[in-house]
Amino acid sequence: MQKELYSLVFLLILFVSCEQIYHPSIDRVEGQLVVDAQITNDPAKNFVHLTRTRSFYDMVPLPEVSGAKVELIQMGGKSVQAVERNTGYYSFPSVPVTGKRYYLRITIGVDIYESLAVTMPPIPTLASFYTLDTIKKVWINNGDGIPQSFEKQGREINVDLALTDSLSHYRFDVRSVLEWTWDSIPSVYSITHTAFGWYSYYENQQFNLAGPTDFNQVNKIEKHPLLMISYNAKDYLYADTLVSQGWILIIEQFGTSKESYEYHQKLNSQFAATGSLFDPVTTQVYGNVLCKNDPSKIVYGFFDLNSCQQYRYYFNLFSPTTAITLKQIYRYPDIPDNGIVRAVKKNPIVRPDWWEE
């Protein structure tokens, strides 16, 4: 028995002494070109951002590519050269024409990169814009850090979209701005507030995409969701002394191509992976830009032309039984992400000039 015990101890020591930390071998793909391009009918939103990939273990930002020659070339037409406004960021002095086909050419040293040709789509429109009462299940960690499901009631913002031969795929960027006030002496009759403030929230967990499916009407996409806002303003306000004064909703609608829609769908499937058995297999998502003089060089990113339209609405939420009035806003001043305006000494407070009510 004692001999067997000695043998067992010897084997345990042997196993422990042989333990090593495993470092998996990962292919080195640093130095590959990354093209992040957005070309629209709005010069203020146009850019081509060039970077290069880095090693998997590097924690530094992607290196910018400066000094490149970037051109937007119309098929059978003229070429427009971009200007490098900031390191690695290039912009064009003009915008593409609806219905014309263009491709992107990037020259870096001896390497020439070109995209496939794409057509500039027409300006998108919303067939209708409305809200619906809804209940959404959310997961929140409890005091022990264990996720628990809760039902949150709110209003879902929906749009209907037209399907035409020239435009049938869309992408949305959505920003919601919560206006709030604070009173140093709270009163239900107060009309002069001590402070005006606001917070911004972005729906950017995934790309918000809309396109035709087997269940669509012949010429319409119906009830496409943009976001949901809770009736309980305390879900967004960071102090009980703040009072909600309504929401400004800023919708950037992009008309895009079927190829761009499918490319961003693949990116969404990668972002949504949770580690379960049924997740999509992780793969490299390649775009439509190629190196002409050396096809073996990998290029990441996608070039597309996007027609763009911005919409703004103001509304207030109280309860499911209260009517929701959507007021469209026809002015487009810049609104900082977050901020506060306070009273100065004895001078009356002046709220921001873009404030809605």
Question: What pLDDT digit, counting tens, does each position of 190-245 carry?
Answer: 567 889 999 999 977 789 999 997 555 668 899 999 999 999 888 899 888 899 99
In the chain, what percentage of residues exceed pLDDT 90?
Answer: 56
pLDDT band at 284 (very low <50, low <70, confident <90, very high): low
Q: What's the pLDDT at 277?
A: 46
Which of 90-94, 177-181, 235-239, 276-280 comes out lowest in average pLDDT?
Answer: 276-280
Global pTM? 0.82
Cβ within 8 Å of residue 253, ≥6 positions away: 124, 126, 170, 171, 172, 308, 309, 310, 311
The model's pLDDT over 104-161, given as tens digits with 9 standing for 90+, comes to 999 999 999 999 999 999 999 998 999 989 888 777 776 677 777 778 889 999 999 9
Sign of CA dihedral 45, 48, 49, 55: positive
Instruction: Examine the pLDDT at 23 and tell me if it is beyond 60.
Output: no
How many residues are listed for the chain in this entry?
Answer: 357
Residues 83/93, Cβ–Cβ less than 8 Å: yes
What integer pLDDT is reported at residue 90 of this predicted model?
97
The predicted pLDDT at position 25 comes to 47
Average pLDDT over residues 51-63: 76
Give Cβ neighbours of residue 220 (< 8 Å, ≥ 6 apart).
127, 160, 161, 162, 163
Q: Which has more confidence, 60 or 311?
A: 311
What CA–CA distance (Å, rounded) separates 34 from 47?
14
Q: 316 vs 67, 89, 185, 230, CA distance in Å? A: 49, 39, 24, 11
Q: Which of 106-110, 248-252, 283-287, 315-319 is predicted with the least confidence, judged by mean pLDDT? A: 283-287
- Cα 298 to Cα 74: distance, rounded to the nearest angstrom: 25
Q: Is 269 helix (H, G, I), strand (E, B) or coil?
A: helix
Most confident of 263-267, 269-273, 343-347: 263-267
What type of residue sits at position 296? S
pLDDT at residue number 156: 92
What is the model's pLDDT at position 152? 83
The band of 184, judged by pLDDT with boundaries at 50, 70 and 90, is confident
Average pLDDT over residues 4-25: 48
